[in-house]
Structure 1
Amino acid sequence: METYGKILLIAMPAFFVLVLFEKFWGIWKHKDTVPLTDMISSLSSGMTNVTKDVLGLSVVVISYDWLYGKFGFFQIEATWIVYVLAFFALDFAGYWTHRIAHEYNLFWNNHIIHHSSEEFNLACALRQSISGIVKIFTVFLIPAAILGVPPEVIAIVAPLHLFAQFWYHTQHIGRMGFLEKIIVTPSHHRVHHAINPEYLDKNYGQIFIFWDKWFGTYQEEKEEIPAVYGVTRPVQTWNPIKINFMHLWLLIKDAWRTKNWSDKLKIWFMPLGWRPADVAAKYPVDKIKDVYHFEKYNPNLTKGMLVWSFVQLIVLLLFLSYLFGNLAAIGSPGIFYFGGFVFLTVFSYTELMDRNPNAWAWELLKVAYALYFVVVAGDWFGLNKFLPGSLYLFVGYLALSAIFSIWFSLRKENKATGQLI
């Protein structure tokens, strides 16, 4: 937990700088692929994901340590070749995990957030799940366990394998020559994120593309078919916490509503998109019929609301840095209470970005939650000890946050001009 937190103290600002670089590069090249609202939503999703991971808010049904103990027929030293083997093993497991997430209703809920952006940029790489509470796919690492790859090697290689999937989420890099035959490139991954019928459910590889070629899921990007991004059932929100659970909620409602008892069980394990016939007829859901003619989600936000949302993002990034750098000092259960504040903050300001008239209520809940701990402890999880006088800044931030949220929530839109009044 602490080690991963320290890694993220370096990784988070690095990813943020790269996302901003892509934004300014796009503006300079007159091809801005990073709308500010989309970027804020994506980075907010990333922050909820790393908070969940650092706090260990998931249950591993089958651990690699257990697999290694049961299937480790060989004992090998952690040499460089073992690290290479571990990397290939993780990528093989990643291919199948990724593919299953796209092919079955139950597992799509853990992955929908990553595809929910209607843009394709470095920021959307950080749209990662918080809904994957139960992890079962370690089973795909059985080949690594049989070969005797030590658990400590997997523990080191896994974060590197994950971070190596960041760079190819961009529209600014074209074809890459002979590398297209070996590794996953931006061209391959643009296909994967596209909802064009020709591209749908292709290129599941995470680092190496040859898995797709071997298992029949490869599709080349074609110039005459420009990729259109998103999901076929648009999420219509900037709130990443809502996105994480909307597919699961649809499955629960469909299972409850169908009159066919076999469908109540069947729905969870059917191919992605399958719904009971009686429910689909009575409760249709919006689905994009023509990928070249649909309106992207884009609520009207004033410059002030955009600036305020970006400020909230920066402030939350600073709070997260404090949390990850002081996990041991804050201790348990404090780190989990702090995590609750992170989730409430993201929920409240993304509701405001959605122009939810009740966003102020979520903001007041966040403020009340934070003030409770301030009043009880006389500090915010050791922040004032860490930086004397910072408690006043924190309380001042909470007050400003409440004021701005109420102000923006209650402003009405002029239907004639589309402007806030």
Structure 2
Amino acid sequence: MESYAAVLNYAIPFFMALLLLEAGIAWWKGEKVIRSMDTLSSLSSGLTNVIKDVLGLTVVVVSYDWLAGEIGLFEIKSTWLVYTLAFIGLDFAGYWVHRLSHSVNYFWNRHIIHHSSEEFNLGCALRQSVSGFVAITVFFLLPIAILGVPGEVVAVVAPLHLFAQYWYHTRLIGKMGVLEHLIVTPSHHRVHHAINKEYLDKNLSQIFIVWDKIFGTFQEELDDVPPVYGVTRPVRTWNPIIINFVHLWQLIKDAWRTKDWKAKFTIWFKPTGWRPADVKEKYPLSGIEDPYAYEKYDP
């Protein structure tokens, strides 16, 4: 936690400088990529997330140090190769945690705030959750734990891996040639944040786009399908606390209202957006049918 907080001291001013640079370039090019209230909501979300992380308000069921100590088959020194293994391992784990967040009702609540912005800019990258109460990444770090990658290496690499995901939240950078085949680029991530049916739940990788290509979730940005950003059930608020828990509150209400006792327990683990049939009929929810006909929330 100390190393994470130390890195934040340098990362936050860097993030803000890039955000201002993006705004300046957009203004110079005559484009509008930032809306004041939307960006303020993003910054507020980032602030609540930082406070939560620094205070350590997350339950760690299994620590990586304990896991590596129990199942590690090798004892390796902290060389550049070990740091590379840790980075790749974190990226592999990040892909699966991200995929789980898009696929399971309960876990979507910890990720909805990041997608709730109807813009796509560097401010959007700062929309991070405070509702991820239980850390699950460690369960997907089994491969590097077995290899014996030390916990102190993971502690150093983890914030760097997280902060390396900031730069590609922008509309100002087009496709990047050969890099499109290797790493996650702004083009890839625009697809990920879009609600067009062609783009939903695609490009879940965090640094290396190869995971999407291996596991079948890759989608190229199409010239004839401009991305529309947000979530299919718009949150329509700037309040970061409401956005963080809007999906969880809906799940609680649906679980309470349904007469199907099995559904009261299974709703949490069903695919994202699933609702019991009786509740869906009695309490319908509206969503975006045509992304291009949707009017953005902008009071």
**Range of TM-score over shorter length:** over 0.9
Partner of 1:171: 171
Does 1:292 find its partner at 2:282?
A: no
Amino acid at match of 2:21: F
Partner of 1:235: 235
Question: 1:232 offset after TM fit, Å?
Answer: 0.2
Question: 1:224 offset after TM fit, Å?
Answer: 0.3
Partner of 2:144: 144
Question: 1:184 offset after TM fit, Å?
Answer: 0.3
Does 1:244 find its partner at 2:234?
A: no
Identical counterparts, % of pairs: 67
Structure 2 portions without partners, runs of 5+ = none
Matches of 1:270 and 1:79, distance apart in 2: 43
Partner of 2:206: 206
Question: 1:136 offset after TM fit, Å?
Answer: 2.2
Partner of 2:80: 80
Does 1:127 find its partner at 2:130?
A: no
Matches of 2:192 and 2:9, distance apart in 1: 30
Amino acid at match of 1:61: V
Task: Map Cα deviations across residues 361-420 of structure 1 (whole Å, 9 max, x no partner).
Answer: xxxxxxxxxxxxxxxxxxxxxxxxxxxxxxxxxxxxxxxxxxxxxxxxxxxxxxxxxxxx
Task: Map Cα deviations across residues 143-165 of structure 1 (whole Å, 9 max, x no partner).
Answer: 00011100000000000000000
Task: Map Cα deviations across residues 235-263 of structure 1 (whole Å, 9 max, x no partner).
Answer: 00001111001100000000000000011
Partner of 1:189: 189
Question: 1:286 offset after TM fit, Å?
Answer: 2.2
Partner of 1:225: 225
Q: Is the 8 A contact 1:193 1:230 kept in 2?
A: yes
Matches of 1:258 and 1:99, distance apart in 2: 27
Partner of 2:254: 254
Question: 1:9 offset after TM fit, Å?
Answer: 2.0
What TM-score does the superposition give when structure 2 sets the normalisation length?
0.98
Amino acid at match of 1:198: E
Question: 1:71 offset after TM fit, Å?
Answer: 1.0
Q: Is the 8 A contact 1:110 1:132 kept in 2?
A: yes
Matches of 1:136 and 1:173, distance apart in 2: 33
Secondary structure in 2 matching 1:292: helix
Secondary structure in 2 matching 1:34: coil
Q: Is the 8 A contact 1:100 1:107 kept in 2?
A: yes
Counterparts in 2 of 1:89 and 1:78: CA distance versus 1, 3 Å: same
Partner of 1:47: 47
Q: Is the 8 A contact 2:7 2:159 kept in 1?
A: no
Q: Which has the higher helix share?
A: 1
Q: Is the 8 A contact 2:97 2:136 kept in 1?
A: no
Matches of 1:2 and 1:148, distance apart in 2: 23
Secondary structure in 1 matching 2:141: helix
Matches of 1:208 and 1:284, distance apart in 2: 39
Q: Is the 8 A contact 2:3 2:156 kept in 1?
A: no
Amino acid at match of 1:150: P
What TM-score does the superposition give when structure 1 sets the normalisation length?
0.70
Matches of 1:95 and 1:35, distance apart in 2: 30
The one of the two structures with greater contact order (alpha-carbon pairs below 8 A, sep at least 6) is: 2
Amino acid at match of 1:160: L
* Aligned length in residues: 299
1:402-417 pair list within 5 angstroms = none
Secondary structure in 1 matching 2:291: coil
Partner of 2:95: 95
Structure index of larger Rg = 1
Question: 1:18 offset after TM fit, Å?
Answer: 1.0
Matches of 1:33 and 1:92, distance apart in 2: 31
What is the RMSD computed on CA atoms of the aligned residues? 0.8
Partner of 2:105: 105
Question: 1:4 offset after TM fit, Å?
Answer: 2.7
Amino acid at match of 2:44: S
Matches of 1:2 and 1:202, distance apart in 2: 34
Matches of 2:279 and 2:219, distance apart in 1: 34
Amino acid at match of 1:240: P
Matches of 1:227 and 1:61, distance apart in 2: 38
- After TM superposition, the runs of 4+ consecutive aligned structure 1 residues lying more than 6 A away are none
Question: 1:99 offset after TM fit, Å?
Answer: 0.3
Question: 1:8 offset after TM fit, Å?
Answer: 1.6
Matches of 1:134 and 1:262, distance apart in 2: 24
Does 1:65 find its partner at 2:65?
A: yes
Secondary structure in 1 matching 2:286: coil
Q: Is the 8 A contact 2:74 2:148 kept in 1?
A: yes
